[in-house]
Homo-oligomer: A and B are copies of this chain.
Amino acid sequence: MGVTGSALLDVDRIRRDFPVLERRLGDDRPLVYLDNSATSLTPSPVVDAMATYYNEYNANVHRGLHQLSQEASIAYEDAHDAVAEFIGADGREEVIFTKNTTESLNLVAYSWGLEHLGPGDEVVITEMEHHAALVTWQQIARRTGATLRYIGLTDDGRLDMSSASERIGDDTAVVSAVHVSNTLGTVNPVDDLVDMAHEHDAIAVIDGAQAVPMRPVDVGSMDADFYAFSGHKMLGPTGIGVLYGKEELLQRLEPFLYGGSMIEKVTFDESRWNELPWKFEAGTPPIAEGIGLHRAVDYLESIGMDRIQRHEEALVSYALERFDALDDVEVYGPRDPATRGGLLAFNLETVHPHDLAQVMNDFAVAIRAGDHCTQPLHDRLDITASARASFYVYNQPSDIDVLIDGIDAARELFIA
């Protein structure tokens, strides 16, 4: 089948942890879930960890003195430690729990951006940014009078590094780039981008929403100033995201959301802030979700992020091979599986992606169709929408075969 067996995970065993994979849809077909870039499925250990919180030590955190609150506080703080270790941060001080990647990026844009940006400053982002970064920097630039500049793309959907060199200059205040594009699959050279930003005394903000689930990430060696990702895309629950920030930057940064537990002392006239990371976690935080995310991190580590990356590459490689045999399908992004994440956006000539997704649904195949929150990139590719298949730890080569069958059926249906 063209798939190197040894690169693949033990999918049969992993699938047992995902009860939703037992769903049968439509004509009694087993669910083939290929919408992982939108959100991953959630294994039982993660769901159970959250239920255990609710059923055994349901309490608010912030170091209440009673037993349940102590247990919840420790579990919630431990979750920060686990995430810090998972991404190579220096400690929990550098790990802020938000509600999603989007809030993480907004936190940076509001707290850092409103304070540091002004007319004459340039915000450099890429043409392949997700709306979470693109719209946010666009609007914060507008408010502050800063200028937004875009790093262009090569024809095969990689960042044009000569364009990057042109855009990043002495007026650059911040470089914000996606680590793995959720549409092109491109794995961007974030180490280089971070270096280029730092050479010009700009900060580097990396959107890791698609990277952290798929490959080993070390924010320390990358030297990023901020790094954002979401729990729900890495086997964790909805309602939680992460913002990594360098400790010395976070120390100096003004808070974003104000309220309980991010303060140290409040009077009618003024307030002082709590220590990191709590200074950036106002109000009752996502407690169950933090505990669930911790369990998801453990689950991913028990598989091994290196092995997950190889698994993704093997599936993409097989999918590209099968797609290559279809001459009415256009696949976007780089061809080399080693330089792309485990997702493929594509279009079938003659069949609108929405129609394709609907036909796929009859095959119990879940793919996404639309603009994947990268409308400007779609404009750039001169398309209004695309279909996208994205793979994760429970996917197997036969899922790709079902996908191809669905494409064949859709073609037949619409062209016949």
Contacts and interface: CB of A to CB of B under 8 A. Distances in A.
Interface of A: 19-20, 23, 25-26, 31, 33, 35, 38-39, 41-42, 44, 46-47, 50-51, 54-60, 64-69, 99-103, 105-106, 109-110, 127, 130-132, 134-136, 138-139, 148, 150, 230, 232, 237-241, 257-263, 265-271, 282-289, 354, 357-358, 360-361, 364-370, 373, 375-376, 379
Contact of A271 (B109, B139, B267, B365): B139
B35 A59 contact: yes
Given A65-B369, A100-B284, A138-B271, A260 B20 contact: no
A333 B36 CA distance: 52
Contact of A258 (B60, B106, B357, B379): B106
Between A39, A131, A260, A366, the greatest number of chain B beta carbons within 10 A of the residue's beta carbon is seen for: A260
What's the number of copies of this chain in the assembled complex? 2
Given A136-B259, A259-B102, A375-B267, A38 B64 contact: yes
A362 to B, nearest CB: 10
Nearest to A101: B283
Contact of A135 (B266, B288, B360, B366): B266
B283 A66 contact: no
A285 B269 CA distance: 35
A376 B268 contact: yes
A35 B66 contact: yes
Contact of A288 (B138, B239, B265): B239
Contacts of A271: 135, 138-139
Contacts of A257: 102-103, 106, 136
Nearest to A54: B42
Contacts of A138: 258, 269-271
Nearest to A72: B39
Nearest to A38: B60
28 contacts: A20-B57, A23-B57, A35-B64, A38-B64, A54-B237, A59-B366, A66-B357, A66-B361, A67-B364, A99-B286, A100-B285, A102-B258, A102-B259, A103-B283, A106-B257, A131-B259, A131-B263, A135-B258, A135-B266, A237-B288, A238-B239, A238-B286, A239-B287, A241-B283, A261-B373, A265-B375, A268-B376, A289-B289
